[in-house]
Amino acid sequence: MTRAHPAVLRLPLLACALAALAGCPDRTIAEVHPSQGRVESKDIPVAVNRDIDILFLIDDSSSMKDKQDNLAANFPQFIDVLNTIQGGLPNVHIGITTSDMGTSATNGVGAASGGCTGTGRGGKLQVLGAPGVTGKFLSDTVSATDPLMRTRNYTGDLATTFATMATAVGTGGCGFEQHLEAIKTALDPTGPAARFNTGFIRPSALLAIIIIADEDDCSMSDTALIEGGDGSPLGPLVSFRCTRYGVTCDVGGATPDEMNVVGAKTQCHSNETGDRLTKVSGYVDFVKGLKADPKSVIVALIGGPAVPVATETRTDAQHATPIPALVHACEYTGASGKEVADPSVRQSEFINAFPNRGTTTTICDSDLTGGLTQIALLIKQAGGDACMTGTPVVPFDCSVSSIENPGASQVETILHECADEADTDLSPNAPCWALVADAAQCASSPGDLKLRVKRNGVSPAAGTHILANCVTQVTDGSGSGG
């Protein structure tokens, strides 16, 4: 079949602005034509990595029961996607920690306040009484002595064992949820939880961090944020304090006092100059610093949408008089009735700091299959998988580059479409790209198609990545990914 070759143009991130993706390519790319559909962005290392450490940060506050059950019920679909990785299920470590950091803050540890105590669960990995598990996390890897066998530290089925752990997380955790601080504490090799979490992170493995939450991050830099009760100058002792002092909205909420005013807020972001909550940028720097190549880190959020953001007044069980509160960003009907989630401004800012390695989907869905599948597909791609997640339009319309030495001194080569579509490394105009059928490797992908770069036997430099934007048919757009 004859293909139309898109013009190669140097344009600023046009596809980035139009892609249904959480992160944007951190570079200039050739033009594609999004009027034909959506744009699927891919960032694929040429070297396959089958070692993946997966940390689930699960909110354990009082509103999370239905969402935890939802996660557990749909987790098998997450594993199903990982099973389609070339060679089958990769060598995985899977750990769970929770958002309960008690009253701890980076300036010290406060006293009991607002139902929170001490350091809470303190970023420790939790197996939560799951039967047959030895250690603090799940490990399922290829045997060191027999590549046809696997070594496991649990009994029974992986998805079932994880589901048992996820539903046992419970809802008794602190209502001032410190998602990002818990992640940092769980992964910090010199931190207070390091001796409990030994062995979870492998130096050469990919690291995936998945946040499951229905409220935004409230990682505290000052214990005073949850001290003083309702009579405090900070306002009523409720989680709205986290937004009031941890988020700034350029329109309608430029100060904590403006955030307190009823009405819509726009252009919202983390308050990086405030002294109550810890800077999101610090957590980004910490996580990226865990790996020699930051592209080895995948981050994901199943939570409330980042917008809209608005303040209202409402009553609750402790306050008969209306007090300032966040308007819920989304809602759905769960097993026990109405379920809600609040705007994820700080969490989304964290996710978006990982271009092409971050994805965000809504927790306001009675079936989390779509979100979990999207995350698993991103993990699969980051490990070196080149299968398309959408159905490419015909004629194929892709912009593809080969990036050597990714980073400040990277060398980029723009690739044209190959003159043939055979699944071989040979082409008269190599190096070039082609979309080729691979029913075995891409069984879970529409059309069984993968992106192949042909080099006529010339090996790429170590650390090379392939960056691509391909126009695919429009789908229902249930989330965003990168």
What is the DSSP annotation of 32-78? Answer: --GGGSEEEEEEEESS---EEEEEEEE--STT-HHHHHHHHHHHHHH
Domain end point (choices 321, 351, 382): 382
Domain end point (choices 382, 417, 438): 382
Structural domain including 412 reads: 14-47+386-480
Check residue 333 and give its pLDDT: 96
Low-confidence ranges of the chain (pLDDT < 70): 1-37, 107-115, 407-408, 444, 446, 474-482
What is the DSSP annotation of 143-157? Answer: -SS-TTSEEESS-S-
What's the mean per-residue pLDDT of the chain? Answer: 88
Rounded to whole angstroms, the Cα distance separating 92 from 376 reads: 12
Q: How many CB atoms lie within 10 A of CB 257?
A: 9
Check residue 73 and give its pLDDT: 95
Which residues have CB under 8 Å from 148's CB, separation 6+? none
Identify whether 448 is part of a domain. Answer: yes
Identify whether 302 is part of a domain. Answer: yes
**Cα 79–chain centre separation:** 16
What is the DSSP annotation of 291-316? Answer: SSSGGGEEEEEEE--S--EEEEEEEE
Q: The pTM is what?
A: 0.86
Check residue 66 and give its pLDDT: 97
| Same domain assignment for residues 77 and 59 | yes
Q: Residue 441 half-sphere exposure, CB side, CA atoms within 13 Å?
A: 17
| Same domain assignment for residues 344 and 212 | yes
Question: In percent, how much of the chain has pLDDT > 90?
Answer: 70
Q: Which of 45, 41, 3, 32 is nearest to 382 (CA)?
A: 45
Tokens (6 digits) for 435? 């979309």
| Same domain assignment for residues 446 and 362 | no
Q: Which of 229, 206, 230 is nearest to 287 (CA)?
A: 206
Rounded to whole angstroms, the Cα distance separating 327 from 264 reads: 9
- 10-33 b/e (C-beta count within 10 Å ≥ 16 → b): eeeebbbeebbbbbbbbbebbbbb
Q: How many CB atoms lie within 10 A of CB 36?
A: 16
Which residues have CB under 8 Å from 35's CB, separation 6+? none
Tokens (6 digits) for 34? 């999004």
Domain end point (choices 365, 382, 399): 382
| Same domain assignment for residues 208 and 116 | yes
Q: At 226, which CATH number? A: 3.40.50.410
Check residue 108 and give its pLDDT: 59
Question: In percent, how much of the chain has pLDDT > 70?
Answer: 88
Check residue 169 and give its pLDDT: 95
Q: Torsion angle of alpha carbons 184, 187, 191, 193, nearest 10°?
A: 110
Number of independent structural domains in the chain: 2
Find the helix packing angle between 280-288 and 179-187, rounded to 10°: 30
Check residue 181 and give its pLDDT: 97
| Same domain assignment for residues 154 and 269 | yes
Please report the beta strands in 48-205, taking only residues with DSSP state E, as ranges in sequence order: 51-58, 91-98, 104-105, 108-109, 138-142, 150-152
Q: pLDDT tens digits for 196-249?
A: 999 999 999 999 999 999 999 999 999 889 988 888 999 999 999 999 999 999
